[in-house]
Amino acid sequence: MAEAVEEKKKSAWKVLALALSNRKTGFMLIFGFASGLPFALFLGTLFAWLTEAEVDLETMGIFSLIGLAYAFQFLWSPLIDKVNIPILRKLGRRKQWIVPAQVLLGTILITMSILDPKSQLGMFSLLAGIGAFASATQDIAINAWRIDVADDVATIDILSTVYQMGYRLSSLVGGALGLIIAARIGWPETYALMGAILLSVGFVGLWAPNASEVDADVATESELQVRALRKSGELAPGIRNRALLLVGLLWAGAIGTVLTFMVLSMANAPEDRPNPTEFTATFGPLIILATIILPGLIAGWLAAQKKKGRHVLASDAPEATGGDYALDHLYRALVLPLVELVGRVGWALVLILAVVLTYRICDAIWGSFAYPFYLGELEYTNDDVAFASKFFGVGAIILGLALGGFMLTTIGRMATLLIGGILAALTNLLYADMAVGGHNMAAFSQAVGFTYLIEQVPGIGDADLAKLTITIGFENLAIGIAGAAYIAWLSSIVSKKFSAVQYALLASLTLLVGTLGRGALGEMIENQGYYDVFILTTWIGLAAAVLVCFEWYRESRGKKEAGIVAPEAGEAVPAE
């Protein structure tokens, strides 16, 4: 028995070593960095530049619209699965989107560096908006690339972990390091430097591997899937077209709502612009309902009809032409990804969605209240928070990601998902202690010698900073482990045929948690204080861990029924 355990450990180390030495892993780190850098520059550091340029707060508010590109990126995710870019299609199915997006982002950042944000604010904001959409598009394609290229060596678990490491490193470079560099060489030079970095990444990305030695052309694959819709046993065109009409109307309404809001925001004076926060809180859940929940129910009905043999073709239908051909392609882009997902996992999708909605709930909601808690409630200084959350905190997350990647390889995806979820939930109790004075955290920090180390930090180091730093450190360590497992698990659910759409749709559900939860959480903080909120989020996190147990059982049972006996640790994402 002991020899078997030792052999499993050696095998896990071998799997990990092979994965980390694979060229796909190296490019995943680069792509993760490229994915996080624009987000940090457009939604964080940019406001520091605008503040220094003396741009008024009302005008700055329009830049919050940039966040909508990331929040609603799933609305154009079907394009990434469906459309080829002329000439660039030779780069491969995903790289034809990734490389030009990175080049465009680099060019935009360099162009912004030669503009004056105060006197040329119109062009400056336009470039920032285009950059945000290019960045969100890049994210869709990179997530799909990660899922597509995963194999038995560069597993989805390792690629997902490395992606997040690159993403977190870029947030440090584009955030804290960007502020430090700007203080020494200026904002224009800093953004020019960041633009040059992204241009370099775009150039290097040309050599990134595709999903196979000869990457399947997106148009060819799409064409084969469309032709398959006319085969015997597939749903009748009339039924498909009615479903497409309903889903199309829902998606058109959602896209129209977002575009209307953006036009009103850009065209009106500051005092007449709609409030972005209110828009997201009011229309965010409705957009999710229209683009995910209701289409998901429609897809479930379609999958059930096909399974029961109702409304299906008795024999092969003639190849579609003209308008029917266009409708088949639209069905393939908008409806088929959901039908495939629902048909594959069935009612288990309810459990999957429950995990998606609860597992990262603390991260989705807490971000808006972190700084008010640190600076207002606990009365720490900006320097204290920057040191604890940006420098030490980012290091703790990267360490957590590394530990999570190792756990994924040694004990498996679901075990790591469960442990990470429990740890992330329990770290809320550390914040609950901080909310009532932090005496336990202070005593622990003192006992392990951490307080002494922090006291050596020149200028700001003291016992109060030590207890904040160690609290954030434990939380971020847990977030790293949970994040590594969660992204790997979420990536394992989607099909490689529809990876861009399915992953974007599932990942966007965190928006629903954020929009519905922030208002209620803010009201609870006002009425009951932070302590009760942290106790509540602990229980929610533990409830998510229970759901993970059910999901683990479901997956294990499914593997047994399918006759899969290979260990989970290090397994690659399935092709379907």
How do the domains of the chain map onto residue ranges?
Answer: 22-213, 221-334, 351-562
At residue 5, the pLDDT reads 42
Helices and strands in the chain, H and E counts = 28, 0
Closest by Cα among 548, 551, 549, 521 to 537: 521
> What average pLDDT does the chain have?
83
Same-fold call for 22-213 versus 351-562? yes
**What is the chain's Cα-based Rg?**
24
Phi-psi region of 386 (alpha: psi -120 to 50; beta: other; left: phi over 0): alpha
Closest by Cα among 205, 177, 206, 204 to 193: 177
At residue 489, the pLDDT reads 94
182, containing H or E segment: helix 178-185
Check if the beta carbon of residue 490 is closer than 8 Å to that of residue 411.
no
At residue 57, the pLDDT reads 58
Q: Which fold has domain 351-562?
A: Growth Hormone; Chain: A; (1.20.1250)
Q: Does 12 have pLDDT greater than 70?
A: no
Cα distance from N-terminal residue to C-terminal residue, the chain: 35
20-24, 220-224, 569-573: least confident range? 569-573
365, two tokens = 């909601």
**CATH architecture, range 22-213:** Up-down Bundle (1.20)
Contacts of 448 (CB under 8 A, 6+ apart): none
Query: Facing residues of 235 across strands?
Result: 312
pLDDT per residue as tens digits for the range 502-548:
888 888 777 666 656 666 677 777 788 889 888 988 998 999 999 99
Residue 110 CA to residue 188 CA, distance in Å, equals 8
Q: Does 277 have pLDDT greater than 70?
A: no
Model confidence at 142, pLDDT cuts 50, 70, 90, reads: very high
Check if the beta carbon of residue 93 is closer than 8 Å to that of residue 218.
yes
At residue 315, the pLDDT reads 87
| Cβ neighbourhood burial of 243 (10 Å; 0-12, 13-18, 19+) | buried
At residue 487, the pLDDT reads 92
Residue 184 CA to residue 522 CA, distance in Å, equals 38
Whether this prediction's pTM lies above 0.85 is answered by no
